[in-house]
């Protein structure tokens, strides 16, 4: 997957997250996948996405 496609996928994921917050667990998994792809390219991870991933994890743990 090209870097541009990866960026577009992240944007689409962010849109989905704002539209369907009840699917947080699924969105978290997709976010992890996208961040892993960025790591695979050897690119630095956007801090806001890393923080979002951590917040989603904390929210899911709190709900359990």
**Would the pTM count as exceeding 0.75?**
no
Give me the chain's average pLDDT, please.
81
Q: Alpha-carbon distance 31 to 23, whole Å? A: 12
Q: Is the predicted pLDDT of residue 53 greater than 70, yes or no?
A: yes
How far lies 40's CA from each of 34, 37, 46, 64, in Å?
A: 10, 5, 14, 31
pLDDT classification of 1: cutoffs 50, 70, 90 = low
Q: Residue 9: is its pLDDT beyond 70?
A: yes
> DSSP string of 34-60?
HHHHHHHTTPPPPHHHHHHHHHHHHHH
Task: Determine the pLDDT at residue 28.
Answer: 81
Which tens digits make up the pLDDT trace of 11-31?
888 788 778 777 777 878 888
CB proximity list for 50: less than 8 A, separation 6 or greater: 35
């Amino acid at each position: 997957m090209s870097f541009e496609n990866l960026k577009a996928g992240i944007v689409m994921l962010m849109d989905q997250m704002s539209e369907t917050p009840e699917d947080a667990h699924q969105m978290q998994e997709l976010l992890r996948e996208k961040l892993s792809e960025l790591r695979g390219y050897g690119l630095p991870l956007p801090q806001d996405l890393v923080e979002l991933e951590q917040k989603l994890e904390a929210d899911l743990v709190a709900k359990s």
